[in-house]
A = this chain, B = another copy of it.
Amino acid sequence: MRASGRYDDEMRKVTIETGILTHAEGSCLISCGNTQVICAASLGQRVPIFRRNTGLGWVTAEYAMLPRATNTRNRRESLDGRPSGRTFEIQRLIGRALRSCVHAASLGERQINIDCDVINADGGTRCAAITGAWIALRMAIDQLRENGTLTHDPLTHQMAAVSCGVVGGNAILDLEFSEDSEAETDANFVINDSGGLIEVQCSSEKVPFTDESLAQMLALARAGTETLFGIQKAALAN
């Protein structure tokens, strides 16, 4: 059993509250243990230059933390004049992951902007953001279908993300912050509901990892995302 009192393959409690933003086409507050992220989907004005006049849609994402989402207050990025490298890396991951389950021609030449704002951070914020962002995207697309803008559903798959790590030689699922800062290896997996791998990011933090630990983490991640698919479905059913 881990320092957190959880089993190696045990996720934290996950809840998803939909519709928390009064203006957004889709929104939710996702909580994974003490990590909380507000996810919003906004129907944008127009697609990026490289998509103009192609008939193809685009999904993009931005990620940020409230200054006091963390133990020590973080300086607002608006004062630095630019998002940090970590922010860029995370929001590029979220956007890339979401686009993997959108059929661009069915979406048509329109853009959906995803905003993921972390309210409380306790590890796994980027994975919670992806899992919640998929909900917001699903809701925004449903609205486009209900109002007749879209005749076909451009969302080809359900998708979720979960973190894994190696601590003391053991592969574990869904790290909270105290585990994350001690892990020898840190990984994030984005998987769709057909079992297709969307993104695997695995970094050695203290010691290199092996093919075996990569395989073990991948197995844990498959189980974890299965759990998340159920929670996503239940949240949308409400």
Q: Contact check, A100 vs B204: say whether CB atoms are below 8 A apart.
A: yes
Cβ of A201 under 8 Å from chain B: yes
Give the contacting residue for A88; candidates B23, B85, B115; CB below 8 A: B85
A66 at the interface (CB under 8 A from B): yes
Determine if A83 is an interface residue (Cβ-Cβ < 8 Å): yes
Main secondary structure of the interface of A (DSSP, over half): mixed
Contact between chains at B82 and A23 (CB < 8 Å) = no
- How far is the CB of A198 from the nearest CB of chain B, in Å? 5
Copies of this chain present: 6
Known: A78-B77, A83-B79, A88-B85. A198 touches B194 (CB 8 A): no
A152 at interface, CB cutoff 8 A = no
**Stretch with Cβ within 8 A of B (4 or more), from A7-15, A117-125, A230-238:** A117-125
| A27 within 8 A of partner (CB) | yes
Interface residue total, chain A, C-beta cutoff 8 A: 63
Write the nearest CB–CB distance from A57 to chain B, whole angstroms.
16
Stretch from A37-45, A127-135, A143-151 contacting the other chain: A37-45
18 A-B residue pairings within 8 Å (CB atoms): A23-B69, A42-B73, A62-B76, A73-B113, A76-B78, A85-B91, A88-B88, A88-B89, A100-B208, A196-B204, A196-B207, A197-B211, A197-B214, A198-B204, A199-B202, A200-B200, A201-B202, A214-B218
List A residues at the B interface (Cβ < 8 Å): 20-24, 27, 34, 38, 40, 42, 44, 62, 64, 66-71, 73, 76-89, 91-92, 96, 100, 113, 115, 117, 119-120, 122, 192, 194, 196-204, 207-211, 214-215, 218
The 9 A-B pairs at the shortest CB distance, nearest first, are namely: A196-B208, A85-B88, A77-B78, A81-B81, A42-B73, A82-B82, A40-B68, A200-B202, A24-B68
